[in-house]
Structure 1
């Protein structure tokens, strides 16, 4: 099993972005998946979370793809400050995607972007700017940040105020609901039916708008809160990833 490699790349404005990558298959270029983490309970681990919990090695080996994770600004070893899924975070994700596209083991036409929680907010916005993603997976995200802000707990409101501000422009730059017509990647939305930080209605509205824009989209609801149990998530991910990314002979358990 390949080791996890650490890379530091340029965000495009001189700031550093941390990316961790699990090997990559030997031989012909294969697919890749890029994970974008959530809030992490204030621990600021960044991409290290996906390495420490085995996600990168598990996906890489079982799907026979390159699996990578990027640290958002202010998390891990990526330069800050954090901007709550805003332009700097989106540029960091785009820089990570650009890095993967030129790796010899990666087929640039078969890259999946997978964002969780605040990572889903930013990844949805990235998908509106990157036309050649093979697929997009969004888990527990919000797609109209102003609406989420108005209905969120004080702690989350303070984080948004501190990192992004509350101007109309700030909300628009972080609300993929209003950029759905620019998204072309096949999209899988994963959401807990009882998610408090991110209401299921957010995912339902986003799925409807994507469908209206003729984007292939599926919304899977789970009987849980914000964190989707692995035993519920795995079958859905397995089927989706096998169809868009994994070689026909690969299996995912």
Structure 2
């Protein structure tokens, strides 16, 4: 079984970012970076993808490097958490930069995969890192002010505490209003009955990306915030098999 390695990298401001990584081989190939969700207060960070077997599974099946980053305040990454804001985005970007420097990674073939609050942050990262091969976003919100107005009291309090509710704070976390800066092919997965992130968030974001000429596909699935694996797996398999297909040279 491939070895999972843990790395602690400098975010660029002296704060630590935790990253877990599995390499399929020493040959240069693509990479995928997972960005976790809220985790129900467990704060496992990137270790979640180690414990559930995702890193080994994706690496082995696709022949790529698979990695998972811990957001600020999760795992061994320095906090505090800022609810998908600039500090979280900076941590994800530092993890992407780390991957790009690995001999086993083709820096032009990196996919960013964010779930829930990880999708919120990853969508914003895609507005700043425009050379990603693709982004995959599940159960995210892309207009945080709208989500805040319609969310539970508990989620509202978390946003107030971690992010603040000024116009700038909402804008810094709302990829819908930065869709013109996204250049990477985008796959959106969302549950029709999601009670934390309304499906219209994904629908509006998909429409905005399409207007900008970004290749985008939206799959609305028969589920809530936690998507049924049996529905997600074939969509991911088809998408990632194509994205990571071997590059053929025409003579």
Aligned residue in 1 for 2:123: 124
Q: Do structure 1's residue 238 and structure 2's residue 251 form an aligned pair?
A: no
**Matched length:** 248
Aligned residue in 2 for 1:64: 63
Report if aligned partners of 1:47, 1:71 keep a CA contact under 8 Å in 2.
Answer: yes
Shift of 1:22: 1.0
Distance in 2 (alpha carbons) for counterparts of 1:24 and 1:109: 17
Aligned residue in 1 for 2:140: 141
Aligned residue in 2 for 1:179: 178
Aligned residue in 2 for 1:157: 156
Shift of 1:246: 4.1
Report if aligned partners of 2:89, 2:125 keep a CA contact under 8 Å in 1.
Answer: yes
Distance in 2 (alpha carbons) for counterparts of 1:109 and 1:13: 26
Shift of 1:24: 3.6
How well do the aligned residues superpose, as a CA RMSD in angstroms?
A: 1.1
1:41-120 superposed matches below 5 A: 41-120=40-119
Q: Unaligned stretches of 5+ in structure 1?
A: 249-253
Distance in 2 (alpha carbons) for counterparts of 1:32 and 1:198: 28
Distance in 2 (alpha carbons) for counterparts of 1:246 and 1:71: 28
Aligned residue in 2 for 1:2: 2
Distance in 2 (alpha carbons) for counterparts of 1:45 and 1:62: 24
Q: TM-score, normalised by structure 1?
A: 0.96
Q: Do structure 1's residue 169 and structure 2's residue 156 form an aligned pair?
A: no
Query: Which stretches of structure 1, 4 residues or more, deviate above 2 A after TM superposition?
Result: none
Question: Secondary structure in 2 aligned to 1:57?
Answer: helix
Aligned residue in 2 for 1:12: 12
Report if aligned partners of 2:26, 2:103 keep a CA contact under 8 Å in 1.
Answer: no
Question: Secondary structure in 1 aligned to 2:180?
Answer: helix
Distance in 2 (alpha carbons) for counterparts of 1:26 and 1:3: 12
Q: TM-score, normalised by structure 2?
A: 0.97
Question: Secondary structure in 2 aligned to 1:211?
Answer: helix
String of CA shifts for 1:36-80, please: whole Å, max 9, x gaps: 000000110000100000000000001110000000000000000
Distance in 2 (alpha carbons) for counterparts of 1:122 and 1:141: 9
Distance in 2 (alpha carbons) for counterparts of 1:172 and 1:12: 24
Distance in 1 (alpha carbons) for counterparts of 2:106 and 2:25: 11
